[in-house]
Chain A
Amino acid sequence: MTLPLASSFVRDQDFINALYIVAFGLFIFGLMGLTGPRTAVRGNRIAAVGMLLAIVATFLLPGMGHNWALIAAGLVVGTVVGVPAARQVKMTAMPQMVALFNGVGGGAIALIAWAEFIESSGYDGDPLTFVIPSLFGAIVGSISFWGSLIAFGKLQEVLPGRPIGLKGVGQQLLNLALLLVTIGCAAAIAAGGTAGWLMVALLVAAAALGLFVVLPIGGADMPVVISLLNAFTGLSAAATGLALNNTALIVAGMIVGASGTILTRLMASAMNRSIPSIIAGGFGGGGAVAGASGAGEHAGSVRATSAADAAIQMAYARLVVIVPGYGMAVAQAQHAVREMATELEKRGVEVKYAIHPVAGRMPGHMNVLLAEADVPYEQLKEMDEINPEFTRTDVAVVIGANDVTNPAAKTNPQSPIYGMPILNVNHAKSVIVLKRSMNPGFAGIENELYYEPMTSMLFGDAKASVGQITQELAAL
């Protein structure tokens, strides 16, 4: 068949196009609401109304009227799967949930492109303005789907969080080869190739590319990866919009692409890394080697403390700064932390939270968790705001944060994280680090902070440790 997609959409349907315009207007208006905590809930709901409108408008298109049962079944199954998943997911598991939702979106795009290919007998007779966006959607959607699944697996700890893959250049050569195969298949199809295996090969190569690009990326780089994959899915949705001549898809997809790009750049610059270097295999080999050599030098000079001592230290402080990291999320310690802070505030201690832009596994991860625990919005301080305050901080409590507090980022040019902006925890008068063990973080880098004279370590599960401190505080 000759896919009269473009012409069918133009055919006298101003009303539906107007609905689409209202829909994307609602998306943009809704996103504007997301710029402030007060308007954000409403903004999100406005965008959801826009989505509903776009779906209803699609049903009204002239020529629609086939396979109703199948469409309804798809919508029902998707809702039945999506609603409980979204309702029940814990706030600590949010990064992997977002990765998963992102992945299925990418998968949908790749599948639609595949269906278009099959039904048009290999884009036979279709103009390049249709074929190229459709192929772009197939490639990037497939990368996004498989990459997101790996990100999900790593965050859910189904897969190891450490980088997996070939050492160094081998991995990059493999990725390059896969990229060339993908582009080669796309070029063959665009040049008129109609064989079914070409599209399958393209999808498989892009899938492998998604797998192999994300597998070697360590857990600490996940905020960058997730927002990058989000941007990818957005861009491929926009491409699908170009192919289907659907303005709502173009606008929505492109806005998501732009926002994902902004976030990705923010995350990458917060780690002082370039996006290409993260995609090319990040902390991988080099970092682990540097970390291993550092481990030997320091062994044995760590000071352990008890919950009782930590409580006394904090109780007589004027300013306590809490530095949360991924460990707090893993231990689900956010409520316990909030209770400890309340106990401190009762005693007249000022409590603030220092939030590093890449603490946790997705942008703003710590803010969400602390908001869940009802920590007042004003106490959450961003890096630039809190760093000057560490010099007048009596006790800095590091809860499951590691690399973002490592002074090596400033002092040791050999360190893989050298140059990354960090929280100046080492400027505080004393530092208490809550940690499960002396194992280095995801990046595999030894943290020099732990060996400083003002630092003491409180080993154990973060939630249990914080709970003990709170009890000790209450008993003082």
Chain B
Amino acid sequence: MFVTNLAILVVSGFLGYAVISKVPNTLHTPLMSGTNAIHGIVVVGGIFVLGFYPDLGAFTKVILVVAIVFGTINVVGGFLVTDRMLEMFKAKPTAKPDEPEDKQ
């Protein structure tokens, strides 16, 4: 099982490299903040450990709740912030000929 996971790990590394090499400079900030949101998936780890074991110590529970809070902030904040940024890029290429004067 561990070896299979290791194989998945290695392949994912190359896959990530291939996918992300194509991102243009302009989108580097949203890319970073988007991938940032994706590593918030660790919240899943926190949920699992806290939800799976019946007899965790009080201190462990506190640690895990904090971990879930952190992970959730990472996920929710990351995706929202990326969405806000990308919304600003989206209109650009279509609405160019007569730049309207609107300022949000």
Whether A35 touches B24, Cβ cut-off 8 Å, given contacts A82-B72, A83-B76, is yes
User: By the criterion CB–CB under 8 Å, are B28 and A242 in contact?
Assistant: no
- Chain A 65-81: CB-based contact to B (< 8 A → 1; otherwise 0): 11110110111011101
**Nearest Cβ in chain A — how far from B28, in angstroms?**
3
* Chain A positions within 8 Å of B68 at CB level: 71, 74-75, 78, 108
Instruction: Give the CA-CA distance A241 to B13 in the complex, in Å.
Output: 14
- Chain A 215-242: CB-based contact to B (< 8 A → 1; otherwise 0): 0000000000011001001100110111
* Chain A positions within 8 Å of B25 at CB level: 355, 357, 363-364, 367, 382
Q: Give the interface size bracket for A toward B.
A: 35 or more
User: By the criterion CB–CB under 8 Å, are B73 and A250 in contact?
Assistant: no
User: By the criterion CB–CB under 8 Å, are B33 and A248 in contact?
Assistant: no
- Chain A 58-99: CB-based contact to B (< 8 A → 1; otherwise 0): 110101111110110111011101110111010100100110
**Nearest Cβ in chain A — how far from B67, in angstroms?**
4
**6-24 of chain B: CB within 8 A of chain A:** 6, 8-9, 12-17, 19-24
- Please indicate which of the listed interface residues A35, A40, A376 has the most CB atoms of chain B within 10 Å of its own CB: A40
User: How many residue pairs, one in A and one in B, have C-beta atoms under 8 Å apart?
Assistant: 401
* Chain B positions within 8 Å of A258 at CB level: 12-17, 20
**Nearest Cβ in chain B — how far from A254, in angstroms?**
4
- Chain B 25-53: CB-based contact to A (< 8 A → 1; otherwise 0): 11111111111111111111111111111
User: By the criterion CB–CB under 8 Å, are A44 and B79 in contact?
Assistant: yes
A15 in contact (CB, < 8 A): no
A41 in contact (CB, < 8 A): yes
Question: Contact check: which of A8, A70, A85, A252 meets B77 at CB < 8 Å?
Answer: A85
**Nearest Cβ in chain B — how far from A333, in angstroms?**
14
User: By the criterion CB–CB under 8 Å, are A82 and B64 in contact?
Assistant: no
Instruction: Give the CA-CA distance A258 to B32 in the complex, in Å.
Output: 11
- Please indicate which of the listed interface residues A73, A112, A233, A261 has the most CB atoms of chain B within 10 Å of its own CB: A112
**Nearest Cβ in chain A — how far from B54, in angstroms?**
5
**Nearest Cβ in chain A — how far from B45, in angstroms?**
5
A177 in contact (CB, < 8 A): no
* Chain B positions within 8 Å of A107 at CB level: 66-67, 70
- Interface of B (DSSP majority class): helix
**Nearest Cβ in chain B — how far from A91, in angstroms?**
7
User: By the criterion CB–CB under 8 Å, are B31 and A101 in contact?
Assistant: no
Whether A44 touches B99, Cβ cut-off 8 Å, given contacts A54-B41, A256-B16, is no
User: By the criterion CB–CB under 8 Å, are B22 and A74 in contact?
Assistant: no
B83 nearest CB neighbor, chain A only: A44
- Chain A 21-37: CB-based contact to B (< 8 A → 1; otherwise 0): 00000011011101111
Instruction: Give the CA-CA distance A244 to B75 in the complex, in Å.
Output: 19
**Nearest Cβ in chain B — how far from A236, in angstroms?**
8
**Nearest Cβ in chain B — how far from A320, in angstroms?**
16
A323 in contact (CB, < 8 A): no
User: By the criterion CB–CB under 8 Å, are A115 and B64 in contact?
Assistant: yes
* Chain A positions within 8 Å of B83 at CB level: 41, 44-45, 48
Inter-chain pairs besides A64-B51, A66-B52, A252-B41, 19 sampled, C-beta below 8 Å: A44-B30, A45-B83, A51-B40, A51-B75, A66-B51, A70-B64, A71-B68, A74-B46, A105-B74, A112-B45, A233-B36, A250-B9, A256-B38, A363-B25, A363-B31, A364-B32, A376-B92, A378-B96, A380-B26
